Structure 1
Amino acid sequence: MPLNPETFSPAFFRRLETFIAVAETLSFRRAAEMIGRSQPAVTSQINQLEDALGVKLLVRSTRQVRLTTAGAELLERGRRLLAESERLVRDIHAQAGLLTGQVVVSFSPTIAMSLAPKVLATFESEHPGIRVLLREELAPQMLEAILNGSVDVGIGPYQPTTDKLAFNPIFDQEFSLVIREDHPLAIRGHARIRDLANINLLCSSVGTTAREVLENAAKAEGITIMPKYEALQYPTLFALAAAGFGGTVMPAVNTNILSAMGLCAVPFRGKCLVRPIGIITRRDEALAPGPQAFVRLLLLTAEQESQHLAGQG
C-alpha cells in the first residue's frame, strides 16, 4: 500500500512523540501529564497515528493499556527515529555555526608567537566566514577574561585558581638559556642549571610562570636568583640579551628571530626545564561550534608540531 504523502509530516512526528509517551507509561493519563497535553488530545493523536499507519498500536481496556506487536516495533524504531532526527537537526545547526560567527582566543605571549600563526592559517582557510579575534595576555588577564565570557578559550601555561575553569594539558614547553652566539656557553653548546650562578641573569617578572620555572630549578640546585634586569615580556629580555647584558631562561619561541638578533638557544643538560601548556575553558560549559572547531584544529596542530613546540615554544 503506497504511503500517504502526509505520513511523515510534522504532525506525524508530534503523534509519534505522543505514542512513545503512552507506550512507555502504558497510561493515557500519565502520558498526557508528561508531555503537557490534555488526555482527549492524546487519545485523538493516537487514533490519528493508527489511521495513518493502518494498524492498531495499542489495545485499550478500562483497566489497562498494552502494546500490539506493531506497537512494540514502532516504539523501538520510533525512539531511534526521533533520536536520529534530533541529532540531524543539531548537526545542521552546528554546520551553520561554522559558516559565520566569531571566535575570541587568548594566547600567552610565547604561544602566540609559536603556535597561533600555524593554527590561524589553516582555520582561516577552512572557515573563511568566521572571524578570529586574537588576544595576547598574561595569567590574571587571561583567566579573568575566560571567566567573564569575553574570551571563548585560552591557551597557555596558566593553571586556574578556581574550579570554574578547566586546564587540559596539550604539550610540555621546554626552556633554554637564550644568550649571545659568542658567549662561552653558546660555543660549548649546552648549559647546566649551576651555570646560571656565573652569568648575569635577565629574568621575567616575579609572578610569571617563566620566573616560577626558573626559581624552582635554581632552588633545587641551591642557587639564589639575583637578576641583573627584569622585564615582563620576552622580546624585551631577548633585546637585553642581544645587547650583551646577560642571558635569559625562556622558551626559544623562534630560532630565526634569535639568529637575527645574534642570539642562540642553549639547551640544558642534566635537567630539563619545562612547563605544561594547556587549553583553558569554562568548566562544564560546552563550546559553541566555532570555538570548538578552533580547539580541534589547535589540538591537531599541536600534535603535528609537538617536537618543534616543545623545543621552541
Structure 2
Amino acid sequence: MIPRPRCESEAEMLPQPEKLALTLFRRLDVFIAVAETLSFRRAGEIVGRSQPAVTAHINQMEESLGVKLFIRSTRQVRLTTAGAELLERGKRLMAESERLVRDIHAHAGLLTGQVVASFSPTIAVSLVPRVLAEFEVEHPGIRVMLREDLAPQMFESIRNGNVDFGIGPYRPVIDELSFDPIFDQEFSLIVRMDHPIAIRGFARLKDLANLNVICSAEGTTARAVLEDAIRAEGISIYPKYEAVHYPTLYALAAAGFGGAVMPAVDLGMLSAMGLTAVPFRGKRLARTIGKVTRRGEALAPGPKAFLRLLMAVVERESRNLGIS
C-alpha cells in the first residue's frame, strides 16, 4: 500500500504575505488585550490564557513582523510606535469582522441581525420612539441598540466601527466620516405656561435681552444657534444658568428661573412640566440634523431598513416633531 502523502495545512500553502496576515489576525485579540491593559497578566485574564502563553503570542508576533510592539521593563509595559499603529488598525479590523458576521446574518431576508445607532439627545427622545414602534413590527428579529452621544463620542464610535451610523446636528465631521442632511430642527423659547411671553403667543429675539436666559453649554450646537441669532440681531444676553442636557434646561425653566432657547423635543413632556414652546416671530432659528456614516462604506441591510423607516416617520410626522 502506497502511503498517503501528508497534506499541508491551509496556512502552509499560502504565500508568505497572506500567511503572515492570517497569523497576525489569529493573535490580534491577545495583542489588543495587552495593548489596552499594558499588562500581560490582566490580558491573560481577559482572553482566558496564562501569562506565559500571552507572552509567547506577543513574542511570536514581534518575530513574524520583524518589529517590536512593546517596550518592556521590570516596572512597565508601553507600546512602540509600530504597536500603537497596530492597535488602532487592529481594533478597526476586529470591529469590521464582527460587523461582517452581523451583516451576513442580516442578509437572510432581514430576519435577524443588529442595528447599533448613535443619536444626539434631542433626537433620541423625540424621533426614536416613533421609529422603534414601527421597526419592531416590521423586523422583529433585528435587535436595535441605541446610544445617546455628543459629537466627539459619536464621531469616535462610528469611526471605530462600534456604531453603524449616527443622527444628529454635528457638522463639520472628521475626515473619515460623511454628513448627509435629513431635516431642520426648529428652536422655540421654552418658558412656563404662565409667562407673559407665553400668554402673548410669540417671542421675538429682542425679548431675550430682558429675559433670564438658561443656555446650553458653550461648544454645543444649540448654543451656536442662539449665539448666531443674537449676533445677527445685535443684542446681548447674559445667561443665568448653563447646562449640557436639555432635561436640565427644561427643569430650570419649569422652576421659574427663566427661558431656554431649544427644540421643543416632546410637547407632551413640556406640558407635563408646565412648560410651552413659544415660536419666534420675524426670525427662524433652526439647525440641520443629518446622518453621519463612515465615508465610502455601504450600510448593512438592517441599518438601511432602520434609516428608511426613520425617513418615512420624519416626512409623515414633521409637524408634530417640530422639524422641516
- Using structure 2 for the length normalisation, give the TM-score: 0.66
Residue ranges of structure 1 left out of the alignment (5+ in a row): 1-91
Q: Does 1:240 align with 2:233?
A: no
Opposite residue 188 of structure 2, the aligned amino acid is S
Matches of 2:240 and 2:261, distance apart in 1: 13
User: Counterparts in 2 of 1:158-177, with a 5 A limit?
Assistant: 158-177=170-189
CA RMSD of aligned residues (A): 1.6
Larger Rg: 1
Residue 233 of structure 1: how far off its partner (Å): 0.4
Going from structure 1 to structure 2, the CA distance change for 1:138 and 1:93 (only over 3 Å counts) comes to: closer
Opposite residue 248 of structure 1, the aligned amino acid is A
The answer to whether the 8 Å contact 1:192/1:269 transfers is: yes
Q: Does 1:190 align with 2:167?
A: no
The answer to whether the 8 Å contact 2:265/2:322 transfers is: no
Q: Does 1:301 align with 2:307?
A: no
Going from structure 1 to structure 2, the CA distance change for 1:301 and 1:182 (only over 3 Å counts) comes to: same
Matches of 1:275 and 1:211, distance apart in 2: 11
Q: Does 1:222 align with 2:234?
A: yes
- What's the secondary structure of 1:142's corresponding residue? helix
The answer to whether the 8 Å contact 1:171/1:306 transfers is: no
Matches of 1:172 and 1:307, distance apart in 2: 12
Opposite residue 288 of structure 2, the aligned amino acid is P
- What's the secondary structure of 1:132's corresponding residue? strand
Partner of 2:288: 276
**Equivalent residue pairs, number:** 221
User: Counterparts in 2 of 1:51-130, with a 5 A limit?
Assistant: 95-96=107-108, 98-130=110-142
Partner of 1:250: 262
Residue 256 of structure 1: how far off its partner (Å): 1.2
Partner of 2:53: none
Residue 138 of structure 1: how far off its partner (Å): 0.9
The answer to whether the 8 Å contact 1:98/1:289 transfers is: yes
Partner of 1:179: 191
Residue 95 of structure 1: how far off its partner (Å): 4.3
Partner of 1:87: none
The answer to whether the 8 Å contact 1:242/1:261 transfers is: yes
Residue 200 of structure 1: how far off its partner (Å): 0.2
Q: Does 1:131 align with 2:143?
A: yes
- Using structure 1 for the length normalisation, give the TM-score: 0.68
Going from structure 1 to structure 2, the CA distance change for 1:225 and 1:289 (only over 3 Å counts) comes to: same
Partner of 1:56: none
The answer to whether the 8 Å contact 2:187/2:263 transfers is: yes
Matches of 1:197 and 1:239, distance apart in 2: 21
Matches of 1:188 and 1:225, distance apart in 2: 21
Matches of 2:259 and 2:308, distance apart in 1: 37
Matches of 1:100 and 1:132, distance apart in 2: 11
Residue 174 of structure 1: how far off its partner (Å): 0.3
Residue ranges of structure 2 left out of the alignment (5+ in a row): 1-103
The answer to whether the 8 Å contact 1:215/1:225 transfers is: no
Identity among equivalent positions (%) equals 71
Partner of 1:75: none
Matches of 2:161 and 2:172, distance apart in 1: 15
